[in-house]
Structure 1
Amino acid sequence: MIRAPLRTALALLLALTAAGCSSSTAPERPSRDGASAASVPTAPDAAPGRPSGPATAAPVRVTIPAIGVDSSLMRLGLNGDGTVEVPPAEQGMSAGWYTGAAVPGEPGAAVIIGHNDTKYGRAVFHDLRKLTKGAEISVINAAGVTARFTVTGKEVVQKTAFPTQRVYGRVDDRVLRLVTCDGPFDPQGHPVDNLIVYATAK
């Protein structure tokens, strides 16, 4: 039997390879309108990397000065069909926090998803690939508290080899992952890669 966190992570991987993103002129699905999408059979009791405990103020804004990002954060949960929500294409300049992962600044892996491009043009994480080690990311919560992270690395991975455990797996440290689409397009208009930025709380 697969335990719930692992089952969830595997389902996230399957959807990342299937849903993808597309060019700005292509339909939303497959689309570059969504940085990633994830599918789970049912909503898990606790997603990988998210410890149980008292409620913490939700994140409402993310800033990345090095690439000029200053974005509100919408909550991204699960759609009725079990896929993870992504920001609507018409709100491509806004990123979203996946509520099934950790709260930024709390122990565990927090995940923020943003578009690279949409059919409306460049989007919030268009320049994510320009981030370098040591860059600062700040996430402000609804109580006005700022969690500060330092970029430790980034990688471009094929969607067929998405590092599910590294991104969504349970960790004790306070870490953050930013995810978007990247790379060339396949014949169907799907970017074949994901760009992942890893950061650790200061």
Structure 2
Amino acid sequence: MTRPRPRLFALLLTLLAGLVLAGCGASQQDTAPAPAPAPSPVAAQKPVAEPVSIDVPSIDAHSTLVPLGLNQDKTVQVPPVDQPLQAGWYRLGAMPGQVGPAVVLGHIDGNHKKGIFWRLHEMKQGDQVVIGRKDGSKATFTVTKVDQVAKKEFPTEAVYGKTAGSEIRLITCGGAFDAAKHSYLDNIIVYGTLNT
């Protein structure tokens, strides 16, 4: 039996690491959640300042927020996969503090690095999510549920549908990694309600 060459072994380790930290998917489309319904009107609500940052102390996640809209195929945009520590908020839905679900998206990994929501699956009921706003105010949410669902069964209505109060959703990829498609098979979704 021959021993593997050191260079070959190092190359195999590098390839394996690349598969694990390849990002949520090979393309923006792979990383987007299911198509969002038509945005609910929020103009009549009490105005709140635009969200600019997110802090999730329980998983040591901190990021500025970039606004996200819809792709041409009507799926929700995601932050650039080559900037895995950047989170974004869905600007066509409710802003944090308004009635409705405010949606924040981030990568589990990307560009061969851990992403802003690498540890999102570790969150538990009662954890806090703090959204900083442009005017210096903050909206703090308490986590009510953490869910893992297959991307093909994405709960569009539960995530983007109408709510009685101000809520938040944090979304990333998760579950098994499909090396052939360069994509995770599931989504991790965190649900929370605004502290009053």
How high is the TM-score relative to the length of structure 1? 0.77
2:44 is matched with 53
Q: Deviations over 1:51-109 (max 9, x none)?
A: 33265321000001111111100011124554432111222101000111110111101
What is the CA-CA distance between 1:201 and the residue it aligns to?
A: 0.5
Q: Could you tell me which amino acid in structure 2 is paired with residue 185 of structure 1?
A: F
Q: What is the count of residue pairs matched by the alignment?
A: 175
Residue 36 of structure 1 aligns with an amino acid whose one-letter code is: A
Q: 2:164 aligns with which of 157, 169, 172?
A: 172
Deviations 1:97-150 (A, max 9, x none): 011111011110110000001133110000011111111110011011100000
Equivalent residue number for residue 126 of structure 2:
134
Which residue in 2 is equivalent to 1:24? 21
The alpha carbon displacement at 1:27 in A equals: 9.6
Is the alpha carbon distance of 1:94 and 1:24 closer, same or farther for their aligned partners in structure 2, counting shifts above 3 Å?
Answer: same
Q: Select which of 100, 103, 110 maps to 1:108.
A: 100
Mapped contact 1:36–1:179 kept (Cα < 8 A)? no
Say which of 151, 158, 161 aligns to 2:153: 161
| Corresponding letter in the other structure for 2:82 | E
Contact 2:31 2:183 in 1 (8 A): no
Counterpart AA for 1:189: H
Q: Which residue of 2 aligns with 1:7?
A: none
**Correspondence for 1:36 among 32, 37, 50:** 32
Which of the residues 161, 184, 188 maps onto 1:195? 188
Structure possessing the higher radius of gyration over alpha carbons? 2
**Structure 2, unaligned stretches of length 5 or more?**
1-18
For the residues of structure 1 that align with 2:118 and 2:24, how far apart are their CA atoms?
19
Residues 128 and 142 (structure 1 numbering): CA distance in 2 closer, same or farther, change over 3 Å? same
Q: Classify the secondary structure of the residue corresponding to 2:82.
A: helix
Residues 146 and 69 of structure 1, relative CA distance in 2, 3 Å threshold? same
Q: Distance in 1 between matches of 2:42 and 2:24?
A: 37
Deviation at 1:171, TM superposition (A): 1.0
- Return 151-160 or 71-80, whichever deviates more: 71-80
Partner secondary structure for residue 192 of structure 1:
strand
CA distance in 2, matches of 1:25, 1:145: 36
TM-score by length of 2: 0.79
Structure 1: segments with no counterpart, 5+ residues: 1-21
CA RMSD of aligned residues (A): 2.5
Amino acid in the other structure paired with 1:198: Y
Q: Do the aligned residues in 2 keep the contact of 1:154 with 1:195 (CA within 8 Å)?
A: yes
Task: Spell out structure 1 runs of 4+ moving beyond 6 A.
Answer: none
